[in-house]
């Protein structure tokens, strides 16, 4: 079973780790390596369960373990996101960057335009 968005592959052979543990480990590894950046929105429990052919409770168990480890965070109805690593300033900056990215995407800016606007703002602020 493979997830197309997260590129999660589960080994269903006898003797392999439990599916929730495989899922937990793969998401944690991707988050810690940066392949899933801070602020990345994860699929819903039901959506990922359907995609992987798992019970929703299996995915929920993996998400709960990841949240307990500080790898992901649930923001109520907004969804589940990869948590920012590091200190609170880094977490707040990652959260602000995620909000900015969502806003400029809704405004229809290209990635290059969004990056240029952010770069200009940061350069202006630090030049003072």
Q: Per-residue pLDDT for the chain (128 aa), expressed as one digit of tens each? A: 555 578 899 998 888 899 999 999 999 999 888 889 888 999 999 999 999 999 999 999 999 999 988 889 999 889 999 987 665 567 678 778 989 999 999 999 999 999 999 999 999 988 87
Cβ atoms of 76 and 84 closer than 8 Å: no
CA dihedral 92, 96, 97, 100 (to 10 degrees): 180
CA 24 to chain centre: 12
Tokens 């950046």 sit on residue: 37
Tokens 């809704």 sit on residue: 106
Entry pTM: 0.66
DSSP at 81:
E
According to the model, what pLDDT value does residue 2 have? 54
């Amino acid at each position: 079973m493979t997830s197309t968005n997260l590129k999660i592959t589960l080994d269903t052979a006898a003797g392999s780790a439990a599916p929730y543990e495989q899922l937990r480990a793969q998401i944690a590894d991707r988050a810690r390596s940066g392949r899933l950046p801070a602020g990345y929105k994860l699929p819903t429990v039901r959506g990922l369960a359907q995609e992987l052919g798992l019970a929703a409770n299996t995915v929920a168990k993996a998400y709960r373990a990841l949240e307990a480890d500080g790898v992901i965070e649930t923001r109520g109805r907004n969804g589940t996101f990869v948590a920012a690593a590091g200190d609170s300033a880094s977490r707040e900056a990652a959260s602000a960057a995620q909000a900015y990215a969502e806003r400029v995407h809704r405004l229809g800016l290209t990635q290059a335009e969004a990056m240029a606007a952010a770069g200009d703002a940061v350069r202006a602020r630090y030049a003072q």
